Structure 1
């Protein structure tokens, strides 16, 4: 019997990497809070650093601009989704994607609910701030690129690379469009009209005719 391809072993992050990620998230939350109160135009990098309790040089060690600072908040959902897919076994790719989307955009605890609140506020602000909108698009582009090898493994060695790339683009856009649509409403983070429900709907619409997902 042919054995399924094994998943690459993931190296756990080092203490330095965990501290770096924690500092970045603290800065991101500070930026989001100040954006919500004063708007991006009324917020400076100095104010974000002060609110986060770090030196301004520390801020610029991690981020190029005040808008860049919210990247870790905007990318959180994509990281959860990718981790779920990395842990999945090859099989029915369409079903695997749907299940992972539903879990990644679920709201299991207060911390996740808070992150969705930040995301909604940031996406609304991005509608009026081109630099913030560029950060959101860059987060999605990065997510798509990092998703490619994950989907290639799940699709198997005989998969057409073009079909894998299309699937990665469609899946990433499904989540992006769902979050943008949800952010423009007052729907809750779970249940009808939630990001998870909208993302599964978008995923089915965008990938319904793909041969790769029909296997």
Structure 2
């Protein structure tokens, strides 16, 4: 009988490493989608860009379009953190301005112009738009929990549910409006101004 015990082969990946691999795949996918188009991009090309096989890419994502999910999700996570930290009694416009001024770009991630180009693709690529909308659908409960904590209300309170839906719709509308109407050269300050206006409208009446 063999005296060896335990697992053999490569050691299991840490969650941090899995997250980083997902980000690497996402960055490669968005660059390829923007430069080549979604239809002309393959799983093999995405994998090759990060030194992985297509088979490995499919272990992390069910489709090539879903490869961009981490980029969308990171933005949602940032907004959720902001809502949780928004001090009661502070006007949202002031809090949002401070948050937007301090929010750095994700290290190693695509620049805002590239993300804007990706969002523009969601207008003409149904599978990519489905991923985009799914991200916001999953974001709404997170927004509700953050707003509930801030207000000292249960997360299923109707007021919290409605406010979370308002913030969610305002954010998506603002990002899409900026991507579809503003010049790419305005990707920085223009997006911040659009988000600030959208959040201020959604927060009317919220203390």
Query: Can you give the 5+ residue segments of structure 2 that lack an aligned partner in the other structure?
Result: 1-12
Q: Is 1:91 aligned to 2:88, yes or no?
A: yes
2:148 to 145, 152, 158: 152
For normalisation by structure 2, the TM-score amounts to 0.81
**Cα shift at 1:30:** 0.7
2:186 to 169, 172, 188: 188
The residue aligned with 2:51 is 53
Contact 1:90 1:156 in 2 (8 A): no
The residue aligned with 1:199 is 195
- Residues 112 and 143 (structure 1 numbering): CA distance in 2 closer, same or farther, change over 3 Å? farther
RMSD: 2.7
Structure-1 separation of matches of 2:108 and 2:91: 24
**Cα shift at 1:149:** 1.2
The residue aligned with 1:72 is 70
Contact 1:113 1:189 in 2 (8 A): no
- Residues 142 and 91 (structure 1 numbering): CA distance in 2 closer, same or farther, change over 3 Å? same
Structure-2 separation of matches of 1:69 and 1:51: 13
Contact 2:29 2:68 in 1 (8 A): yes
Q: Deviations over 1:137-182 (max 9, x none)?
A: 0111111122211111101137981110111111122111111111
The residue aligned with 1:178 is 174
The residue aligned with 1:38 is 36
Structure-1 separation of matches of 2:149 and 2:50: 39
For normalisation by structure 1, the TM-score amounts to 0.78
The residue aligned with 1:3 is none
Query: Can you give the 5+ residue segments of structure 1 that lack an aligned partner in the other structure?
Result: 1-14
Contact 2:43 2:57 in 1 (8 A): yes
